[in-house]
Amino acid sequence: MIRLSANEMASALAAGETTSEKLTQEHLDRISSVDADVHAFLYVDTEGALSQARGVDTARKNGEKLGPLAGVPLALKDVMVQKGVPTTAGSKILEGWRPPYDATVVKKLKEAGIVILGKTNMDEFAMGSSTENSAYGPTHNPWDLSRIPGGSGGGSSASLAAFEAPLAIGTDTGGSIRQPAAVTGTVGVKPTYGGVSRYGLIAFSSSLDQAGPCARTVLDAALLHEVIAGHDAHDATSIDAPVPQVVRAAREANVKGMKIGVVKELNGDGYQAGVRSRFEESLELLAKAGAEIVEVSCPNFEYALAAYYLIAPSECSSNLARFDAMRYGLRVGDEDGASAESVMNLTREMGFGREVKRRIILGTYALSSGYYDAYYGSAQKVRTLIMDDFTKAFGTADVLVSPTCPTTAFKIGEKANDPLAMYLNDIATIPVNMAGIGGMSVPCGLAPEDGLPVGFQIMAPAMQDQRMYSAGAALEASLLTEWGAPLLSRIPALGGAK
Amino acid sequence: MSTLSRADVANLARLARIEMTDQELDDLSTEMDVILTAVARVQEVATSDVKPTSHPLPLRNVVRADVVTPSLTPEAALSGAPANEEQRFRVPQILGEEA
């Protein structure tokens, strides 16, 4: 049962072939048997999940009208607050904290009858591309346990690839949904900025952060997307417009006549040979399915990474000022006569990890008087240029495509001491966040040289998220015909697994 | 581009309220040079005729009707507090001792 898609699980539940309690228990058993090796979860909410599952079973028995994913389990990234359940964002500064409220996304999941299994590992405050920056130790890629599962949402992507959950929630500030999806052979979607509420999402960089669905199939991602999307009065940046019809697009999987623009600047030098060859093959399949492939140029994308590493740290230095040891979280050095300032200084020193401190210092510098125009101000101008590039490109193409990442998953520890090399991972995913548009990563095969998954990125204009689901589902269907079975059927069995 | 001395980093850490160790200050002053050189590339194209963008959406102020809605109980609001007293957050002293 655990290897089915979420949609298939939902059908089995609706047909009475199993119960949510049984399905949830199967996933909890799988977590017990493999998570010591994978470490996708920071907290498993066994009792909460089973009680939620029983509630859905009872409602079904009573003939209540249920949502399309009711009773299906899900893994929640630990950056989303869930009432009464330990929430850390991968940081020691929040160790043991139990939020007094639910994020809007969590509220919607609960209302839809989706069973929350637990909280997944992540880079501290979502800052990283490997999950190595988690204060609670790294997550391992189920394809090869010595490799990273991507980041920051490596726990969510790994839980899907390890069949610990069929659905997960991620958040994407510079690629934290799409890059983990790419390196684990799963599907990850960053919706249009403002498409999904940020209320209860622990903020890293507010103008870039966006929550979205993670799954093993494009249709599953679409079903989850429609559950969590929509306007929210609690989020002033939430878009007050109808949710794009992504489920319909995923079901139709139609690219006939669609113009697909290959971004010239997001390919070539610096991209691994196997990543490029899988990407090229996918383009051919899309052309065969009826799409028209064109080339587009976005010359300012080469400045996106530099601009991102000014804007995100600047916003984070402001957002993380809330961790002041006063109202919640860690407090260190609160002895008789200690000043509030010394308690703050000590708590933040003890509570934050290396990468978080690095970005706070960088952001504090970029925003400081005398340097603001040269750094933060210039980065904001680059943001305009990137948006202009997208506007022009979408004048010729309906969607834009590129490899999601320049390489497949690297080894744990390989880039841990070289922040710049680590940042380069996000080179193809960052432009999407800068412009606030939608982006998706779909698995497109294994690189021949290392046998590791490659991701195909699809980008669509703001509030046209359905276009990436059309293209993603079409590519997925063509690849399935080629392979005869989903990519994840080729994943090696995990050591402790039955 | 500009280089950051160890004293500069120490000052930034003070502004950011982080009590860094000597080792951290040493490491960061080296790393910041590398990172700042890389990110300074934005200046190549950020000419005076380009308007800055702070946010992907055309934001306007959003207000709600002034009506009372359910909110956290005092117990829930204080549930994560490191210390509390008489339904209040107890914090370390914020003013120096008066002579």
Whether A77 sits among the annotated catalytic residues: the reply is yes
Q: What pLDDT sits at residue A498?
A: 42
Q: Using CA atoms in the order A171, A85, A48, A194, what is the torsion angle rounded to 10 degrees?
A: -30
Same domain, A307 and A290: no
Q: Is 0.95 surpassed by the pTM of this model? A: yes
Domain that holds residue A341: 303-378
Same domain, A204 and A314: no
Residue of B nearest to A337 (CA): B93
- DSSP assignment letter at A368: S
Same domain, A236 and A171: yes
Of A233, A310, A368, Cβ closest to residue B39: A310
Question: What is the average pLDDT across A407-424?
Answer: 91
Q: Mark which of A341, A362, A378 sits at the end of a domain.
A: A378
Q: Which of A350, A378, A406 is the last residue of a domain?
A: A378
A443-470 pLDDT tens trace: 999 999 999 999 999 999 999 999 999 9
In sequence order, the β-bridge partners of residue A400 are A261, A459
Locate the DSSP E strands across A82-133. 115-120
CATH number at residue A245: 3.90.1300.10
What is the per-residue pLDDT across B3-44, written as a single tens digit (0 to 9) for each?
A: 789 999 999 999 999 999 999 999 999 999 999 999 999 999
- Nearest-Cα distance to chain B for A452, in Å, is 30
Answer whether residue B55 shows pLDDT above 60. Answer: yes
A452 and A486 together in one domain: yes
Distance, in angstroms, between B70 CA and closest chain A CA?
12
Q: Does A149 touch chain B (CB under 8 A)?
A: no
| Residue A174 sits at the chain B interface (C-beta within 8 Å) | no
| Strands, E assignment, A152-297 | 167-171, 187-190, 211-215, 259-263, 292-296
Q: Are residues A68 and A190 in the same domain?
A: yes
Nearest CA in chain B to A300: B45
**A467 with A482: CB under 8 angstroms?**
no
How, if at all, do strands A292-296 and A259-263 pair? parallel
Give the residue carrying structure tokens 């850490």: B13
A203-234 pLDDT, tens digit each? 999 999 999 999 999 999 999 999 999 999 99
Residue A414 lies in a domain: yes
The contacts of residue A40 (CB under 8 Å, 6+ apart) are A31, A75, A120, A121, A139, A149, A154, A155, A156, A158, A159, A162, A164
The number of domains in chain A is: 2
A424 touches chain B (CB under 8 A): no
Which residues, in sequence order, are CB contacts of A490 under 8 Å at separation 6+?
A: A446
Q: Does A236 touch chain B (CB under 8 A)?
A: yes
pLDDT, one tens digit per residue, over A283-324 is 999 999 999 999 999 999 999 999 999 999 999 999 999 999
- Helices A20-38/A6-14 angle, 10° precision: 150
Average confidence (pLDDT) over B45-66? 89
Nearest CA to CA, how far is A363 from chain B (Å)?
A: 10
Catalytic residue, candidates A91, A130, A152, A197: A152
ipTM at complex level? 0.94
Residue of A nearest to B45 (CA): A382
Domain boundary among A338, A358, A378: A378
Number of cross-chain residue pairs from A and B with Cβ atoms under 8 Å apart: 173
Active site residue A152: yes
Closest residue of A to B78, CA-based? A327
**Could you tell me if residue A498 is inside a domain?**
no
Across the interface, of A342, A361, A385, the residue whose CB is closest to B50 is A385
Residues of A in contact with B39 (CB under 8 A): 306-307, 309-310, 375, 379
Chain B nearest C-alpha distance from A346 (Å):
6
| Spatial contact of A219 and A250, defined as CB atoms under 8 Å apart | yes
Residues A318 and A415 in one domain: no
Chain B touched by A336 (CB under 8 Å): no
Helix, strand, or coil here: A301? helix
Residue A497 domain-assigned (yes or no): no
A111 and A259, same domain (yes or no): yes
Please report the pLDDT score of residue A305 as a whole number: 96
Q: Are A179 and A405 in contact (CB under 8 A)?
A: yes
